[in-house]
Structure 1
Amino acid sequence: MTEPEPQRDLTDPTPVDPGNPPSCSCLTTKELQQNWREVKQRERPVRLLFEIPSSRIVEQTVHKYVVYQVVVMRSGSFDSRRVFVERRYSDFSCFHHKLLEEFDEELEEVVLPRKLLTGNFSPEIISERRLSLQDYLAKLYAIRCVRRSPHFPKFFTEQEQKRAHTLLRAGQFRLALEQLENILEIEEKLLPWQRPTLIVPTLCAMAVCYRDLKEPEQAFGAAQRALPPVRRYGLKQYRAALLGLLVDVGYELGRPVAQLQEELIRTKDVERGEVSSRSLKELVIRAFT
């Protein structure tokens, strides 16, 4: 005769094994609530946080100014790298006026800290302004149309992009890569609220730098990452140039590139007259001229 199964003590606090969860009918209300809390914690939405932890005074021959270190990081997930940019008050002011041109009504209650004519360099004023600018960025991010606007990522990357392309045009590829890697980190943090095409110019510039530095593996990897959004969103100006680089570098690495070569031929054939004959390097160099 089969032994009856022992009754489970419903007051037993032993945690449920997440790798082998029991059916809902076997769970107590307390255990269901605990499981639900764990699920919600795992699926916590990712948000952006902005901190301005420090600032410094830059003194030049005829004037001086304060630059603020703006840290961009994600919440709701493990973020191992706190990337930052440096911005002056005038950068914030220019950014704010661009946003007002499009979102005047939405920004009715978002006020940029006012410009001061005196006392700008006292530690107390700088500290107060630092916290005010941090609060300003948080309020902007809370407005859906603003955080999805192209102006938003430009504020955090445009200066660095121009600097990177200046270095690239000068042939200083390693220094350009340092800028581009920082830009890519920020753009990837912004991707949940921006189209994937945001990272295409950066990845293309990185591919060019790696190729000229004789690092074909990294060049192939950067170009390979850029290709899917280029295909999906029809960025014709990049497609043939990217494919051309992938085919050339792929041959160098001994990769199978027959399909990429066929796609390149089809692309040039289908988009004849619309596809630029420029190389990827030429496209990248012209991006910020």
Structure 2
Amino acid sequence: MAQEGTSRGYTDAGLMCPYSSLTTKELQQNWREEKRQERPRWLLFELPSHRVRETVFSRHVVYEIVIMRSGSFDSHRVSIERRYSDFAKLHQTLLDEFQEELDEILLPKKLLTGNFNPEQLLERRLALQDYIAKLYAKRCVRYSEHFANFFTHQEMKKAHNLLRAGQFTQSLELLQLVLEIQEKLAPWQSPTFMVPTLAALAVCHRDLEKPEEAYESAHRALPAVRRYRLNAMEYHAPLLQMLVDLGYSLGRPVGQMQEELMALRDAERGRVDTRSLKEIVVHKFV
């Protein structure tokens, strides 16, 4: 019997060995794939362009920042625009928290003359690209909420302003951009980092009468909220309520989530947020 079990790919413990029927070549390919997945997906930041933005009262330069994964072709390169003043604000915020770690990292100096000279702008752009790379190389910065917010806060605030104005399609486009950026930054951020974005996406999809997309966004946010309730407690009951409501209309099983919602309200009586998910979302980034 032992020989029969071994020939069928069982270990001495009686468990199936998943690699027993694979050829040496297939084993090597699996091993390489596992090693590739274990490697950290580092990010690269490029500043490929800049432009002069003019308003009635001001004229300033904005720099395009492209964020991409290293190691392979990244088909989901995303970009944002930031002014020099945004870099300066980030630098000061990081210095306040990590003074000693950032002693050797200098923000490129502000141009006092020739602000719109093409050669000086090119030099400034390359210097800012190098600056972001040096910041990212610091572990404390990679894991900093301030660093992540530099790439998402402006877009999140604008998206929520659009949502409050009922412009759900425009809000949705910005929120999807934010989510792509957050997915790239996620390995170094709190597991609840994307919860506000997913909640806002769920609200937009629901108001645009896209219940499937709303359900998927809310459902994706739920595991992090369940596990890290102290960081995202206000979302727990509202997410469950939306999922139960949408689940009924979509014919999804909702019994377990309904029981969870009832148990949560019984256990946390007086402390569970009774607002709807939309009410929570519209008060964010005010």
TM-score (normalised: structure 1): 0.87
Change (3 A) 1:23 1:193: closer
Amino acid at match of 2:261: L
Q: Which residue of 1 aligns with 2:24?
A: 21
Residue 49 of structure 2 corresponds to residue 87 of structure 1: no
Q: CA deviation at 1:35?
A: 10
> Conserved in 2, the CA contact under 8 Å of 1:71 and 1:83?
yes
Q: Which residue of 1 aligns with 2:6?
A: none
Q: Which residue of 2 aligns with 1:191?
A: 186
Superimposed CA distance per residue, residues 168-199 of structure 1 (whole angstroms, 9 cap, x where no aligned partner): 00000000000000000000000111122110
> Conserved in 2, the CA contact under 8 Å of 1:46 and 1:77?
no
Residue 265 of structure 2 corresponds to residue 262 of structure 1: no
**Within-5 A mapping of 1:139-288:** 139-234=134-229, 235-288=232-285
The CA distance in 2 between the partners of 1:236 and 1:23, in whole Å, is 46
Q: CA deviation at 1:22?
A: 6.9
The CA distance in 2 between the partners of 1:59 and 1:187, in whole Å, is 30
Change (3 A) 1:23 1:114: closer
The CA distance in 2 between the partners of 1:80 and 1:38, in whole Å, is 19
Q: Which residue of 2 aligns with 1:28?
A: none
Change (3 A) 1:89 1:266: same
The CA distance in 1 between the partners of 2:255 and 2:32, in whole Å, is 50
Change (3 A) 1:42 1:258: closer
> Conserved in 2, the CA contact under 8 Å of 1:49 and 1:72?
yes
Instruction: Report the number of matched residues.
Output: 263
The CA distance in 2 between the partners of 1:80 and 1:155, in whole Å, is 22
Residue 139 of structure 2 corresponds to residue 123 of structure 1: no
The CA distance in 2 between the partners of 1:285 and 1:55, in whole Å, is 33
The CA distance in 1 between the partners of 2:33 and 2:246, in whole Å, is 46
Q: What secondary structure is seen at the aligned counterpart in 2 of 1:161?
A: helix
Amino acid at match of 1:21: T
Q: CA deviation at 1:23?
A: 12
Give the stretch that moved more between structures: 97-106 or 40-49. 40-49
Q: CA deviation at 1:44?
A: 3.8
The CA distance in 2 between the partners of 1:148 and 1:140, in whole Å, is 11
Change (3 A) 1:257 1:52: same
Q: CA deviation at 1:45?
A: 2.9
Show structure 1 runs of 4+ deviating over 2 A: 34-45, 76-79
Q: Which residue of 1 aligns with 2:41?
A: 46
Q: What secondary structure is seen at the aligned counterpart in 1 of 2:131?
A: helix
Amino acid at match of 2:196: P
Superimposed CA distance per residue, residues 236-277 of structure 1 (whole angstroms, 9 cap, x where no aligned partner): 200000000000011111111111111110111111111111
Give the stretch that moved more between structures: 160-169 or 37-46. 37-46
Amino acid at match of 2:144: S
The CA distance in 2 between the partners of 1:92 and 1:248, in whole Å, is 43
TM-score (normalised: structure 2): 0.87
Superimposed CA distance per residue, residues 121-151 of structure 1 (whole angstroms, 9 cap, x where no aligned partner): 0110110011000000000000001110110
Amino acid at match of 2:139: R
Q: Which residue of 2 aligns with 1:27?
A: none
